[in-house]
Amino acid sequence: MSKTVFIYSCFILVGTFISAISQVMLKKAANRKYESFLEQYLNPLVIIAYMIFFAATLLSVLAYKEIPLSMGPILEATGYFYVTIFGVKIFGETINTKKILGLMMIVLGIIIYSISG
């Protein structure tokens, strides 16, 4: 892997990570009670979360200029790990057997792609 591809791969990984943070922010906002319909969407938590989504999209667009198209979804699959970890740590969610098997399949797919290149 060239240095350029590595750097732009990091763009996707960072974008995926901040996108997961944004998802957590939106879930926290959704769990709150609001006095009006408009307040649900025009509050700082939601607005900042969508700004983060926009930044993550920009990082992906920049990254796809240099990395192979087949590599992007593999790197973006790491988001499932971030969301799972955040769900357990922040929201107290539990990990069941199906989730563990799903995460293991993602890891297996990443390994197969890495080996076959």
pLDDT of residue 112: 87
* d(C-alpha 67, C-alpha 6), whole Å: 8
Residue 1's pLDDT band (cuts 50, 70, 90): confident
Q: Can you tell me the mean pLDDT for 57-65?
A: 95
Delimit the domains of the chain by residue range: 3-116
Question: Which residues, at least 6 apart from 71, have a Cβ–Cβ distance to it below 8 Å?
Answer: 5, 9, 113
Distance of CA 77 to the CA centre of its chain: 8
Residue 109's pLDDT band (cuts 50, 70, 90): confident
- pTM here is 0.85
Q: Can you tell me the mean pLDDT for 61-84?
A: 91
* d(C-alpha 95, C-alpha 83), whole Å: 12
